[in-house]
Chain A
Amino acid sequence: QLQLQESGSGLVKPSQTLSLTCAVSGGSISSGGYSWSWIRQPPGKGLEWIGYIYHSGSTYYNPSLKSRVTISVDRSKNQFSLKLSSVTAADTAVYYCARGGINGPMKFDYWGQGTLVTVSS
């Protein structure tokens, strides 16, 4: 059974960089056909797709966040990461990692439990 687990700083100061990692267990992140996404949900609000990295290493980002987002993969550790720079209070959210692909990049069949990141001084 595939499992995803987010980790990282739960409190980030404004203007700094948010960094999160998603550890994948029970399967290889290098498996063909899958993409690995980050999705966030501000408190009391809806879901927002941040971006994904494909198994080949190519990346796609939400245009509204593209200038601040970097998603990378560490195959040796079977994990992928999110960096979001120049954060503001509007970036406060629960951040989820998820597996997508095969039937389309927005088909997320496995999710992490989510981690709350608060942007505050």
Chain B
Amino acid sequence: AQKITQTQPGMFVQEKEAVTLDCTYDTSDQSYGLFWYKQPSSGEMIFLIYQGSYDEQNATEGRYSLNFQKARKSANLVISASQLGDSAMYFCAMREGEAGGFKTIFGAGTRLFVKA
């Protein structure tokens, strides 16, 4: 069964520093998608970045990059130059393929605290 594991319940980072949020996944599918979402205290889920299982290059979106290591089944999120507004919950997620209805499986999340 598909599973997402985030082992860091909470992380602290100094403003302007970089931080890595860990994510490992388990699937028997060959084709899958990996996502990171940000959830601020207001509750909405904000899409950050996507990595396809066949993508050879790591995805980047502005200050966000995804360190994709397929053999290790890891998809860590790197946030560069942290800002106070980055303080939030971060969820790693995996999208199942068409057979699974393209539904998304989420990890338990990591709460990031950015210190001034």
Do chains A and B stick together as partners?
Answer: no
Q: Which A positions have Cβ atoms within 8 angstroms of B?
A: none
